[in-house]
Chain A
Amino acid sequence: MKAIIALEDGRTFNCRSFTGPGESWGEVVFNTSMTGYQEVLTDPSYRGQMVTMTYPLIGNYGINAEDIESDRIQVSAFLVKEYQDFPSNFRSTSTLADYLKAQGILGIEQFDTRALTRHIRKAGAMRAFITTHDLDPASCVKRARGISSMAGQDLVKEVTTKVPYFWTQEKPVYIGKDVPLNKNIWKYNGSKHSVVAFDFGIKYNILRCLEYAGFEILVVPATTSAETVKLIEPDGLFLSNGPGDPEPVSYAINTIRSLLSYCPIFGICLGHQLLALALGGKTFKLKFGHRGSNQPVKNLLTGRVEITSQNHGFAVNIDSLNEKNIKITHKNLNDNTLEGFRHRELPIFAVQYHPEASPGPHDSMYLFDDFAKMIRLKCQNALT
């Protein structure tokens, strides 16, 4: 079915929908991973975005029940060069088109995705409108200009869990409404360290990695207060990834600020940015972001290079953390942006990229063990 992509700056692309009629809007971005489209689709950090895959053939290995990063598709629309409607893989249970259709997400193909990518690289990520209904370029461009901008929007509210849940055996287990949030909630007192994970749009694989690292994990809504956290008395605090601009998520920044010296904290992606803001740093919007599985990050502590998975449109200003008792631990080798830091005194560290991968390389999995060690050390010190 014929469709059109209209960008806010007036450029349009004729294309086709492979999921039937529909309309969609949001910020259009590109991802350079050659595998992992199902993980991309379900990553809450893509809330409000229409994702173009730069690898042209997408859908090849179908859809399966396991490779999900949240309970639904999060992207607003999915853009590819040539959709593959005949998947082949032993785990595949359905086609990508059926998966998208079942959740009402628009799938777009048959256009010059490289041209779109280059356009974004040069002009920056921008708002776009896609439709199969009215193919008039001028009116579509107008619609694109009417979409609210990413910067200044709190998208976390759209993706965070409404109620707390335990992540147990690779599944969410919701706690009863009447169960009070306090230290008695933990089941493994002593035998497993406990972590409260703030859900700003958390990827399941982070929870899988935390569980694999030996934690008992309670996932809480983004709006959970510092007081509540203190009642729960976790051994550690985890700040998750999530969509969009960190600045408008001020409630979380405040919560984090009041928990800085409470217990060990580990942040990833948006969690990293929120932590930086809580520590007095500044964030800014990148021109077109980092989205892919091949981003080289140098670990300044070891001198080694990690190939990382990334997905962020905003970043922490590396200079804004100077003289804040912060040690820069990771840097992006492509553009020298900040990829990770540690507090010099408090047990706090964070990375901008995604050590949990999914999709992407496993080079940075050690960070989950680092978190476990940090908590162990803290607990031992508390005892002595």
Chain B
Amino acid sequence: MPKRTDINKILIIGAGPIIISQACEFDYSGTQACKALREEGYKVVLVNSNPATIMTDPEMADRTYIEPVTPEMVAAIIEKERPCALLPTLGGQTGLNTAIQVAKTGVLEKIGVEMIGASIESINKAEDRDLFRSAMDKIGLRIPESGIATNMEEVRSIAADIGFPIIIRPSFTLGGTGGGVAYNPEDLEKYAKAGLDASLIGQIMLEESVLGWKEYELEVMRDNKDNVVIVCSIENMDPMGIHTGDSITVAPAQTLSDKEYQKMRDASIAIMREIGVDTGGSNVQFAINPENGDMIVVEMNPRVSRSSALASKATGFPIAKIAAKLAVGYTLDEIPNDITGETLASFEPTLDYCVVKIPRWTFEKFPETQDYLTTSMKSVGETMAIGRTFKEALQKGLRSLEIGRYGLGADGKDFSDRQGRLPSLSEIEQKLATPNSLRIFYLRHAFLNKMSIQYINELTGIDPWFLYQIKQIVEFEQNIHKFNGAALPASLLKQAKSLGFSDIQIAHLTGTSENSIKKYRNLHNINPLYKLVDTCAAEFKAATPYFYSTYETENEARVSNRKKVMILGGGPNRIGQGIEFDYCCVHASFALKEEGIESIMVNSNPETVSTDYDTSDKLYFEPLTKEDVLHIVETEKPVGVIVQFGGQTPLNLSVPLSEAGVPILGTQPESIDRAEDRKLFQAMLKKLGLVQPQNSTAITVEEAVKAAEKIGYPVIVRPSYVLGGRAMKIVYDRSKLENFTRLAIIASPEHPVLIDKFLEDAVEVDVDAISDGETTIIGGIMEHIEEAGVHSGDSACVLPPYSLDAQTLNEIRNATIAMASELNVIGLMNVQYAIKDNQLFVLEVNPRASRTIPFVSKATGVPLAKLATKVMLGRTLKNLGLTSEKTPLHVSVKEAVMPFSRLPDVDALLGPEMKSTGEVMGIDSDFGHAYAKSQLGAGYNLPISGMVFISVKNHDKTAVTDVASQFHKMGFKIMATRGTSRFLENHDIPNIVVNKVSVGRPHVIDAIMNNEVHLIINTGSGEKTKCDGYHIRRAAIKFNIPYTTTIAGANAMCKGIAALTRKKLSVKCIQEYV
């Protein structure tokens, strides 16, 4: 059936900010959908609050609404745009949930909007556990014994029937938030309550535990003629009990015979039909009893997912793109397979390689929360690796993780190397039995300790097949080690490389250097070559150049004679380095295309747009290490490499690559070093007459104490060379300084600890600029809402600045231009300033793309990353038409989105350590409305009446009175704890006193639980982790009550609420702003 002509305008709902369980993959799927639909001539209306996405670029849709993804706002967009159809299956769980709520408002019927892709009925059938259960019963498939509960009494009665352990799954949540495994009645009380709270409909399912069963996923596609294909099978190495997003997974399934696989395939197809997903992709998860092959259905997602993005990258079959085409009426046999160019999408990809996905966690950022994996997802990103064997792919994947590892082990970077001791047998057993982020590395220690596969299997539930693969790697490591100090036979070296060992590992094992292993390999001509991901295992000629490296005999790299440039991506998402950098890399690729230069993308993150085979002329899905990147350079011989867009990962490679003779485009490594190296940086500021906060460096704890005393407390302590403020803290006294310095030295042992004067209550400013080497143009000046001391990635910011005077702004501009010129910046540069008592301090300069580039580009309409790419290729800004700073008339606010609801026990206080996973943007004509939108986008519905609870530390009491009085004037009631209450009373602000938790009940948490509090202002030092403030902040998160932990934030909220009381929020697309 050809495409539908009865519809012409389609609304796509995006996934909103990056959060745990919803990352770049929905930008990838949304971008594909936008492209696919517009290619077919449809008008696309898009809503997404996340400015760091490619999909929200003005060219991607006809009408782009960077507005909060809430039912009200989407309904308003529908009223305004009157689309013919709504496609809800491409924006993750957020898109699906929002679509359902929008449908409930009746606006779809009122305007006559058709839901395409999946009907409300089928979404409900898949998402509501009760309906799902009866659907599965109907087609004779087993799901675990279970019961649905909406209150604790039901919970207890169902639990009595099922027996422990019990899995708790809330209905309608993301990535299993609030879920858990209860081993006893005590756990049950705890997790069931949390689950009931987390569920949007106050409903949880209690489920028979299938812990330890093998877990599988199938990616299924169906068209309107009921043709169904399985795109990919995925086997989880980690068994049931660990969220699939937190599991190491492998494609295709490894330990299923054809009989078992076909049974699963039949079941998936039956489920698609029974649930009634008319068109598009779905993901079905199964558990298999390893003892007897019993199969149960775990769940089904009637939409594209993280796994479908992985499956697309693993197979070359673009699920989201095809899903969009199927939604408008095409059938699978009408859509060409882009990869082969000669066959159709109605087939099932077959792989002739092995794909391993490994999650990336950031437990190091949250020492308060336990490194413990459950059914609730905690990882923030993932990496994928492709190899001809599992062993090769696993080791490539591990070195792609950006955790400083170069394989499974034997790289000198293991925790045992750092601690200088091997883990004890009992420690290994404990780490194997309790799933955690380091378990894969403990598996190696288990084998080094001669544990048997059977015993490890009993401890971990990991299938013996995987354990044997790991054992083979460990045994081979021992083989290599025998040649420590002796000449390694070339045949052994070759074998090591095909098992995925990196030069660093081999060098470590043989007591030599990475470079000498490389030389030795060159001598014996042991080099990787490149094979194609072609969807068909070479049965057909492939048209799309999508490569992975391996050690084989036949090279399929297609080196052209064109002028080409290589772009290094950012690797897996983690806190501090996310989608913003992928956005920049994709823009670099677009710019190269515009300039007629061949683009070569290198990245290892399967969630991204950059790793779409459609984005660049060539895609190398490879780890971003010196060794792997150099191999590609040697094969492709690009005229240059772009390292300044992918964040810290490629930036760290700039010096080694440059030393190896690889031309770095744009700002040179010396300049990068000059900005990163304290001494060189100080000298430069001095030369330019600029000031930075007093500072010093220390190698030892004693030196640190001395330095801090000279500078004066409070000071900020941090290790050098880090991104995202890792291991950074503000300390107010000597004992804390000593403690923290010790930790900082562990975090970055080769570099000194930096000690800076902390400027209390200073205003922080971020500036992005672009320079062609001659001219520097300011891209945007962003004033932070939270004061200096809160990491810039966690602070809300506003463009243009709202409180700075013209003189300060000019001072900022001049300083920025002077530094860009001094550093010979060619490309992008980001500067962070602090302003205290009208004095400008330079905090940091980064001669590279910053996290704020997409936000600034969206706010000003200037595609900075694209222009920067062209500048790096030798164009001038003048020639590109950028001659002056663009200051928009509207106001844009960026707000950070925090992962606290996912991480129990973590304090929500903001500090110098970055903790946010994503961002949203609010745009409006005034600050108040723009800020209110940013809060709504981040998930906080600012109240316009009700009760404000205020409890602040002494330092903030004076400042808070002004805020309190404004709230009072707007008609809010004020509740405060005793100290704050008395202070407010003395300033004539009426308020109600409430007990602190430590004083006795009823206390503030009771008031929060009773829905008496609608906004929380709570500042604290965060020193005592389990203090009153901590409990209040956790309660705010739990009950989703808007809260702020800074006075500046409280002021902004006050302005936002004032704006809302004046005028309700309205919607406007970015095409209307420019």
Measured between C-beta atoms, what is the minimum distance from A151 to chain B in Å?
Answer: 22
CB pair A82–B554 under 8 Å, yes or no, is no
The stretch that binds B, out of A52-60, A187-195, A238-246, is A52-60
The stretch that binds A, out of B16-24, B462-470, B607-615, B681-689, is B462-470
Confirm or deny: A357 has a beta carbon within 8 angstroms of a beta carbon on chain B.
Answer: yes
Measured between C-beta atoms, what is the minimum distance from A21 to chain B in Å?
Answer: 21
- Which residues on the A side are within 8 Å of B799 (C-beta)? none
- Which residues on the A side are within 8 Å of B226 (C-beta)? 304
- Which residues on the B side are within 8 Å of A57 (C-beta)? 254, 354, 389-390
CB pair A88–B464 under 8 Å, yes or no, is yes
CB pair A292–B465 under 8 Å, yes or no, is no
CA of A303 to CA of B1, assembled, Å: 10
Confirm or deny: B225 has a beta carbon within 8 angstroms of a beta carbon on chain A.
Answer: yes
Contact partner, B538, options A54, A82, A304, Cβ 8 Å: A54
Confirm or deny: B138 has a beta carbon within 8 angstroms of a beta carbon on chain A.
Answer: no
Measured between C-beta atoms, what is the minimum distance from A203 to chain B in Å?
Answer: 13
Confirm or deny: B902 has a beta carbon within 8 angstroms of a beta carbon on chain A.
Answer: no
- Which residues on the A side are within 8 Å of B537 (C-beta)? 30, 32, 54-55, 114, 117, 292
From 291 to 324 in chain A, residues with beta carbon under 8 angstroms from any chain B beta carbon are 292-296, 298, 303-305, 307
The stretch that binds B, out of A33-41, A221-229, A254-262, is A33-41
The stretch that binds A, out of B257-265, B359-367, B726-734, is B257-265
The stretch that binds A, out of B344-352, B703-711, B739-747, B815-823, is B344-352
CB pair B265–A292 under 8 Å, yes or no, is no
The stretch that binds A, out of B288-296, B589-597, B866-874, B981-989, is B288-296
Contact partner, A112, options B258, B331, B554, Cβ 8 Å: B554
From 248 to 279 in chain B, residues with beta carbon under 8 angstroms from any chain A beta carbon are 252-262, 265-266
CA of A357 to CA of B541, assembled, Å: 26
Contact partner, B352, options A60, A64, A114, A361, Cβ 8 Å: A114
CB-nearest residue of chain A relative to B254? A60
Measured between C-beta atoms, what is the minimum distance from B890 to chain A in Å?
Answer: 50
CB-nearest residue of chain A relative to B226? A304
CB pair A294–B347 under 8 Å, yes or no, is yes
- Which residues on the A side are within 8 Å of B333 (C-beta)? 296, 298, 305, 333
Contact partner, A307, options B292, B347, B468, Cβ 8 Å: B347
- Mask: chain B, 751-764; 1 = CB below 8 Å from A; 0 = not: 00000000000000
Confirm or deny: B332 has a beta carbon within 8 angstroms of a beta carbon on chain A.
Answer: yes
Measured between C-beta atoms, what is the minimum distance from A194 to chain B in Å?
Answer: 29
Confirm or deny: B353 has a beta carbon within 8 angstroms of a beta carbon on chain A.
Answer: yes
Measured between C-beta atoms, what is the minimum distance from A365 to chain B in Å?
Answer: 10
Confirm or deny: B1073 has a beta carbon within 8 angstroms of a beta carbon on chain A.
Answer: no
Q: How many residues of B contact A (CB 8 A)?
A: 56
CA of A211 to CA of B257, assembled, Å: 23
Given contacts A54-B538, A86-B464, A304-B226, contact A115 B552 (CB under 8 A): yes
Confirm or deny: A345 has a beta carbon within 8 angstroms of a beta carbon on chain B.
Answer: no
CB-nearest residue of chain A relative to B532? A114
Measured between C-beta atoms, what is the minimum distance from A24 to chain B in Å?
Answer: 21
Measured between C-beta atoms, what is the minimum distance from A150 to chain B in Å?
Answer: 19
Confirm or deny: A45 has a beta carbon within 8 angstroms of a beta carbon on chain B.
Answer: no
CB pair A357–B262 under 8 Å, yes or no, is yes
CB pair B225–A56 under 8 Å, yes or no, is no
Measured between C-beta atoms, what is the minimum distance from A128 to chain B in Å?
Answer: 17
CB pair B350–A90 under 8 Å, yes or no, is no
Confirm or deny: A87 has a beta carbon within 8 angstroms of a beta carbon on chain B.
Answer: yes
- Which residues on the B side are within 8 Å of A121 (C-beta)? 538-541
CB pair B350–A115 under 8 Å, yes or no, is no
Given contacts A55-B252, A81-B388, A114-B531, contact A90 B290 (CB under 8 A): yes
Confirm or deny: B343 has a beta carbon within 8 angstroms of a beta carbon on chain A.
Answer: yes
- Mask: chain B, 291-334; 1 = CB below 8 Å from A; 0 = not: 11100000000000000000000000000000000000001110
CB-nearest residue of chain A relative to B553? A112
- Which residues on the A side are within 8 Å of B552 (C-beta)? 112, 114-115
- Which residues on the A side are within 8 Å of B123 (C-beta)? none
CB pair A296–B347 under 8 Å, yes or no, is yes
Contacts across chains A and B counted by CB atoms under 8 Å: 160
Contact partner, B465, options A60, A91, A334, Cβ 8 Å: A60
Contact partner, B463, options A39, A67, A88, A112, Cβ 8 Å: A88
Confirm or deny: B480 has a beta carbon within 8 angstroms of a beta carbon on chain A.
Answer: no
Confirm or deny: A113 has a beta carbon within 8 angstroms of a beta carbon on chain B.
Answer: yes
From 511 to 555 in chain B, residues with beta carbon under 8 angstroms from any chain A beta carbon are 531, 536-541, 552-554
CA of A294 to CA of B258, assembled, Å: 13
Confirm or deny: A267 has a beta carbon within 8 angstroms of a beta carbon on chain B.
Answer: no
Measured between C-beta atoms, what is the minimum distance from A92 to chain B in Å?
Answer: 8
CB-nearest residue of chain A relative to B251? A34
- Mask: chain B, 454-484; 1 = CB below 8 Å from A; 0 = not: 0000000001110010000000000000000
Confirm or deny: B184 has a beta carbon within 8 angstroms of a beta carbon on chain A.
Answer: no
- Which residues on the B side are within 8 Å of A87 (C-beta)? 465
CB pair A56–B350 under 8 Å, yes or no, is no
Confirm or deny: B227 has a beta carbon within 8 angstroms of a beta carbon on chain A.
Answer: yes
Confirm or deny: A358 has a beta carbon within 8 angstroms of a beta carbon on chain B.
Answer: yes
Confirm or deny: B229 has a beta carbon within 8 angstroms of a beta carbon on chain A.
Answer: yes
Confirm or deny: A171 has a beta carbon within 8 angstroms of a beta carbon on chain B.
Answer: no
- Which residues on the A side are within 8 Å of B347 (C-beta)? 294-296, 307, 333-334
- Which residues on the B side are within 8 Å of A81 (C-beta)? 388-389
CB pair A334–B258 under 8 Å, yes or no, is no
- Mask: chain A, 105-129; 1 = CB below 8 Å from B; 0 = not: 0000001111101100100000000
Measured between C-beta atoms, what is the minimum distance from B375 to chain A in Å?
Answer: 24
Confirm or deny: A61 has a beta carbon within 8 angstroms of a beta carbon on chain B.
Answer: yes
CA of A88 to CA of B471, assembled, Å: 15
Measured between C-beta atoms, what is the minimum distance from B926 to chain A in Å?
Answer: 55
- Which residues on the B side are within 8 Å of A157 (C-beta)? none
CB pair A32–B536 under 8 Å, yes or no, is yes
CB pair A362–B257 under 8 Å, yes or no, is no
From 387 to 401 in chain B, residues with beta carbon under 8 angstroms from any chain A beta carbon are 388-390
CB-nearest residue of chain B relative to A84? B465
CB pair B554–A86 under 8 Å, yes or no, is no
- Mask: chain A, 81-105; 1 = CB below 8 Å from B; 0 = not: 1101011111100000000000000
Confirm or deny: A26 has a beta carbon within 8 angstroms of a beta carbon on chain B.
Answer: no
Contact partner, A292, options B257, B331, B539, Cβ 8 Å: B539
CA of A115 to CA of B464, assembled, Å: 31
CB pair B291–A90 under 8 Å, yes or no, is yes
CB pair B388–A56 under 8 Å, yes or no, is yes
- Which residues on the A side are within 8 Å of B290 (C-beta)? 90
- Which residues on the B side are within 8 Å of A56 (C-beta)? 352-354, 388-389
CB pair B258–A117 under 8 Å, yes or no, is no
CA of A245 to CA of B343, assembled, Å: 27
- Which residues on the B side are within 8 Å of A164 (C-beta)? none
- Which residues on the B side are within 8 Å of A293 (C-beta)? 258, 348, 350
CA of A112 to CA of B468, assembled, Å: 23
CB pair A362–B465 under 8 Å, yes or no, is no
- Which residues on the B side are within 8 Å of A115 (C-beta)? 552-554
CB pair A34–B227 under 8 Å, yes or no, is no
Confirm or deny: A48 has a beta carbon within 8 angstroms of a beta carbon on chain B.
Answer: no
CA of A303 to CA of B225, assembled, Å: 8
Given contacts A34-B350, A90-B293, contact A117 B538 (CB under 8 A): yes
CB pair B257–A35 under 8 Å, yes or no, is yes
CB-nearest residue of chain A relative to B233? A34
From 15 to 74 in chain A, residues with beta carbon under 8 angstroms from any chain B beta carbon are 30, 32-36, 38-39, 54-57, 60-61, 64, 66-67
Give 16 A-B pairs besides A307-B346, A362-B265 with Cβ atoms closer than 8 angstroms.
Answer: A30-B538, A32-B352, A57-B390, A66-B259, A67-B258, A87-B465, A111-B553, A114-B352, A293-B348, A294-B349, A296-B344, A298-B333, A304-B226, A333-B346, A334-B343, A362-B266
For the complex of A and B, list the 4 residue pairs with the smallest distance between their C-beta atoms, beginning with the closest.
Answer: A36-B258, A115-B554, A359-B258, A54-B537
A-B contact pairs, 16 of them (CB 8 A): A34-B233, A38-B257, A54-B350, A55-B350, A55-B351, A55-B537, A56-B354, A60-B465, A67-B257, A86-B468, A89-B256, A112-B553, A114-B554, A117-B538, A121-B541, A305-B346
Name B's A-contacting residues (CB within 8 A): 225-227, 229-230, 233, 252-262, 265-266, 290-293, 331-333, 343-344, 346-354, 388-390, 453, 463-465, 468, 531, 536-541, 552-554, 556
